[in-house]
Amino acid sequence: MHRPIASVLIAATLATPAVAGDPTPTDLVDYRETYFEGLSKHMKAIGMVVKGKVARPADLAGHAQAIAAVSDHLTGLFPAGTGPDAVPTTEALPAVWTDPDGFKAKAAAFSEKAKAFAAIAAKGDLEASKAAFFAVGKACGDCHDTFRKDDH
């Protein structure tokens, strides 16, 4: 019996495991950086709205919700073996691993501010959203000051 090529390809695809082995430290850092790039893009879009560069205040709630949704998972993006000793290109400083309690505290503060911002943005109050967004930005910067290589 002759099977169409599409059937063979589908069967081969379904038989292939989704992940082949454990991710390498570089893979984990690449994922972490992609995760933060997404978060950064939401922050940039929000900044454009609250600074009046684009008139899209209805978009704030969605961006704020996205930031809040990922905010609880930040510390899990830094497993042992993904620091600068293993992946020299990482922007994470050794302090992430040498001061885990400090790192967790900064991440928790960011998450708290992100969730508060999401709640305010959901109400549609642009002025209140601005203040809450700037608090998120401050929390973000506070973590960068201690746990991320200087961008400049």
pLDDT in tens, 98-118: 999 999 999 999 999 999 999
Categorize the per-residue pLDDT at 20 as very low, low, confident or very high, splitting at 50, 70 and 90: low
**Which pLDDT does position 150 carry in this prediction?**
82
Which residues, 6+ apart, have CB-to-CB distance to 3 below 8 Å? none
Q: What is the pTM of this model?
A: 0.83
- Is pLDDT of 7 > 50? no
Identify whether the C-beta of residue 143 lies closer than 8 Å to the C-beta of residue 107.
Answer: yes
Task: Average the pLDDT over 22-39 and give the result.
Answer: 96
Task: Average the pLDDT over 73-102 and give the result.
Answer: 97
Identify whether the C-beta of residue 63 lies closer than 8 Å to the C-beta of residue 47.
Answer: no
Kindly list the structural domains of the chain, giving each domain's residue range(s) and its CATH number in brackets, ordered by start: 23-147 (1.20.120.10)
